[in-house]
Amino acid sequence: MKTYLDCIPCFLRQALEAARAVTGDEKVHRQVLDSVASLLSKLPLEVTPPEIAQQVYRIITELTGSSDPYHKEKWRANQQALAFYPRLKEVVAGSDDPLLTACKLAIAGNAIDLGPDFKYADIGSIIEAALSSSLAINDYHKFRDSIKNSQHVLYLGDNAGEIVFDRILIRELRRIKDLKIDFVVREQPIINDATFADAVYVSLDRVADIVSSGSDAPATILSQCSPQMLRLYHAADTIIAKGQGNYESLSEERKNIFFLLRVKCPVIARLLGASVGDAVLKRQDTVSLAD
């Protein structure tokens, strides 16, 4: 998808928040905002929002000296989510449709995001909200059928903390079927996106093969991905893409992709025909199961 004018103030907000997470020096904050504003004035709107965000956070790293402004927040989110892991397993095991429940929990975990202007509640509240609400866009039956007909699943991860919820879904997928599952993380820290270290910390390597995208973009920018990642992308029968960033970067791809996300901004809400806060399990519109 392209970038919209509505996205511009959001990039500036993110830049200021990230700079403040590193330092209290207002001179540095001003330098970051001035540099990001100059960048935004030159970039074409035809590029995707994650590609712009990538450039924004490179400026933040250069001017603040920190390549991981949200390191503490990511660590805390991983720890808090892990504390709920036994409960998540019990909830899935005791539900009428364990796979659907695991999907709803994985989507709920996508609320743990420091990029959009969307503040998530505590993790316990996230779980309760997921179990008590329905999916605003619900392609679950297509998802279930796709998994039954798949041998290889590529799971495009998103944020730290959230990946504990992803582990729950992957665990359920493996219970249903003997699948090859590759889980994709960021090559380097950006915002609160999950890296290899985060995935290993929450033991995702016990249920999936962990693969770097080869890029520090907060999404899956195929032109920047490593050859290994691209081979897996083209070989996978089903692709699970978590979060808004992956929707923004892959919404025009002709692949068997299922987008699992919480809607966090009015732009995405408008494009999806949903509301901010909605839970979405959406199959890519450009293909059919017969493709």
In this structure, what CATH number is given to the domain that contains residue 138?
A: 3.40.50.10880
- Residues 251 and 276 grouped into a single domain: yes
- Residues 60 and 170 grouped into a single domain: no
- Residues 268 and 131 grouped into a single domain: yes
* 156 domain-assigned: yes
For residue 109, CA distances in Å to 62, 124, 166 come to 31, 11, 8
Its pTM stands at 0.94
Q: Which domain holds residue 243?
A: 71-283
- Residues 13 and 102 grouped into a single domain: no
The confidence score (pLDDT) of residue 149 equals 97
Higher per-residue confidence, 288 vs 52 = 52
* 116 domain-assigned: yes
- Residues 51 and 78 grouped into a single domain: no
| Number of domains making up the chain | 2
Q: Residue 289 above 80 pLDDT?
A: no
Cα–Cα nearest to 166, from 228, 244, 90, 88: 88
Q: Residue 112 above 90 pLDDT?
A: no
Q: Residue 47 above 70 pLDDT?
A: yes
Residue 286: band (very low, low, confident or very high) from pLDDT cuts 50, 70, 90: low
- Residues 166 and 87 grouped into a single domain: yes
Q: Residue 117 above 80 pLDDT?
A: no
Residues in CB range of 9: below 8 A, 6 or more apart: none
Average model confidence (pLDDT) across the chain: 93
Contact of 262 with 277, CB cutoff 8 Å? yes
Q: Which residues pair with 180 in a beta bridge?
A: 152
- pLDDT tens digit sequence for 130-180: 788 899 999 999 999 999 999 999 999 999 999 999 999 999 999 999 999
- pLDDT tens digit sequence for 60-71: 999 999 999 999
- Residues 59 and 176 grouped into a single domain: no
- pLDDT tens digit sequence for 201-260: 999 999 999 999 999 999 999 999 999 999 999 999 999 999 999 999 999 999 999 999
Rounded to a whole number of angstroms, the CA Rg of the chain reads: 18
* Alpha helices (runs of H) in the chain, residue ranges in sequence order: 7-22, 26-42, 49-64, 71-83, 85-93, 98-109, 123-132, 140-148, 162-176, 196-201, 227-235, 243-250, 266-272
- Residues 59 and 128 grouped into a single domain: no
- Residues 274 and 172 grouped into a single domain: yes
Distance separating alpha carbons of residues 221 and 227, to the nearest angstrom: 13
Distance separating alpha carbons of residues 53 and 47, to the nearest angstrom: 11
- Where among 64, 89, 108 does a domain terminate? 64
* 2 domain-assigned: no
* 134 domain-assigned: yes
Distance separating alpha carbons of residues 278 and 288, to the nearest angstrom: 24
- Residues 184 and 110 grouped into a single domain: yes
Distance separating alpha carbons of residues 291 and 257, to the nearest angstrom: 12
Higher per-residue confidence, 21 vs 123 = 21
The confidence score (pLDDT) of residue 120 equals 55
CA-CA-CA-CA torsion for 41, 42, 47, 53, nearest 10 degrees? -60
* 289 domain-assigned: no
* 288 domain-assigned: no
* 111 domain-assigned: yes
195 phi, psi to nearest 5 deg? -110, 180
Q: Which H/E stretch holds residue 180?
A: strand 180-185
* 290 domain-assigned: no
